[in-house]
Amino acid sequence: MQAILQLLEIQKEYKVGVGVCVTNTIVVYLMFLGVLMIDINDIRRTVSQGVNNIFNEVIEWFSQHK
C-alpha cells in the first residue's frame, strides 16, 4: 500500500512538473511572438518611411528638371 501511495505521489509530482514545463514553454513562445511582431512592425514602418523618402526625392528631382 505504501508503495502504491509513493508511486501516485511521484506521478502527481511528474504531472505538475510537466504542466509547469509546458506552461513555461507556451509563455516563452508567446513572448517570442510578441517580440517578433514588434520587430516586424518596426521594420515595416522603417521600410515605408524609406520608400516615401525615395519617392519624395524622385518627385523633387523631376520637378526641378522639367
CA distance 31 to 29: 5
- pLDDT tens column, 8-66: 676 666 666 667 777 888 888 888 877 777 777 777 888 888 888 888 888 888 888 86
Report field, pTM of the whole predicted structure over 0.85? no
CA distance 43 to 37: 10
In a 13 Å sphere around the CA of 61, the CA atoms on its Cβ side amount to 6
CA distance 42 to 30: 18
The per-residue pLDDT for 13 is: 67
The per-residue pLDDT for 16 is: 65
DSSP string, 26-51: HHHHHHHHHHHHHHHHHHHHHHHHHH
